[in-house]
Amino acid sequence: MSHANATLTPRTRLRLARLIVDDGWTYSAAATMFMVAPRTAKKWADRYRAQGPAGMPDRSSRPRTSPNRTCPVMVRKIVRLRWRHRLGPIQIAGRLGIAASTVHAVLVRCRINRLSRIDRVTGEPLRRYEHDRPGSLIHVDVTKFGNIPDGGGWRYVGKQQGLRNRAATDTDRRKGRVRGPRLGTAFVHTVIDDHSRVAYAEIHADEKAATAIGVLERAAAWFADRGVTVERVLSDNGSAYRSHAWRGACTSLGIVHKRTRPYRPQTNGKIERFHRTLADGWAYARFYESTDARNERLPQWLHFYNQHRAHSALGGRPPVTRLTNLPGHHT
């Protein structure tokens, strides 16, 4: 539809109709003034007489009846095959004996034309949620990265050189020549706010309950320094989050603890997606000569993620812009 000030938009049609009906102009004279056909002028004048200003907007071009529209029974069959078997339009059309274009039209109308919008486990359309304010819910989890041997890991130096670097690093550590954590796994404890997507992370050598509790306490204080009060925390069913110590820590902090359903990581999907961003943007983004070099880079990357990185779920704005109580950010 054209903009409201263009020729023969609702506003101009009303002027044309009023000249004819209220001021007594002829159809030809009014049509000449507005550079339209007399028949067009008569149409809008008749609508003005019948409906007044409400009759000036465009009417829907949708027909009153659609005899050839796919019947509800067939629509249910198409949707059932899509949900239960995740079939494409051609496969569904072959099973039901109808045109693939018809199947595609039904899938678009039901908003399940993309498999990414359907839950892989249940087959139901994805239900996305977002809490309405910062601190209403935070997600916590742990992701793991292999420690990097001195000289670099296999991803950048190749598998043969990576194995030699690993063997040399392990030998030096056993002989006491190198201090620090031995090669193994780095456990990155992550916390992300559901509303703003602001993230907090720490690197540790384990994922035990005491470590997870310490991360939660420091994360709650970190958010509090930014004017955010943590109310709820969502975690998976890891042993640290099922412990009595974790429950007691949440109670002492005044935080309500919630856990995801077993085997349903998509419930905690925001932090799972953050882990992928963390891996691409920090852990594997560049060559690191050692684990310490990678660890030193994490605070810088977190600052970039929170303060500068455009987030697609936030309309291309960085997460910090949703912490409206920060200086310089107001609703």
C-alpha to C-alpha distance for 139 and 187, rounded to whole angstroms: 16
pLDDT for 331 = 41
Cα 218 to chain centroid, rounded: 26
pLDDT tens column, 128-145: 677 888 999 999 999 999
Name 81's Cβ contacts closer than 8 Å, sequence gap at least 6.
87, 91, 92, 95, 96
Cα 58 to chain centroid, rounded: 36
Q: For residue 231, with 0-12 CB atoms within 10 Å meaning exposed, 13-18 middle and 19 or more buried, which class applies?
A: middle
Q: Name the nearest CA neighbour of 230 among 111, 95, 323.
A: 323
Q: Is the backbone of residue 123 left (phi > 0), alpha (psi -120 to 50) or beta?
A: left
pLDDT for 161 = 78
Q: Name the nearest CA neighbour of 121 among 163, 165, 84.
A: 84
pLDDT for 233 = 95
C-alpha to C-alpha distance for 151 and 30, rounded to whole angstroms: 85
pLDDT for 269 = 83
**Do strands 185-193 and 232-235 pair parallel, antiparallel, or not at all (unpaired)?**
unpaired
Structure tokens, 98: 């109808």
Q: Is 199 helix (H, G, I), strand (E, B) or coil?
A: strand
Structure tokens, 29: 């004279």
pLDDT for 330 = 42
Q: For residue 84, with 0-12 CB atoms within 10 Å meaning exposed, 13-18 middle and 19 or more buried, which class applies?
A: exposed
Structure tokens, 220: 């709650």
Torsion of CA 269, 262, 201, 295, to 10 degrees: -100
The DSSP-derived string for 26-39 is -HHHHHHHHTS-HH
For the four alpha carbons of 216, 217, 218 and 223, in that order, the dihedral sign comes to positive
For the four alpha carbons of 9, 12, 14 and 16, in that order, the dihedral sign comes to negative
Structure tokens, 265: 């990581």
Low-confidence ranges of the chain (pLDDT < 50): 173, 178, 180-181, 327-331
Residue 221 identity (one-letter amino acid) = A
pLDDT tens column, 173-212: 455 554 544 567 899 999 999 999 999 999 998 999 999 9
pLDDT for 329 = 46
Cβ neighbours, 10 Å, residue 104: 17
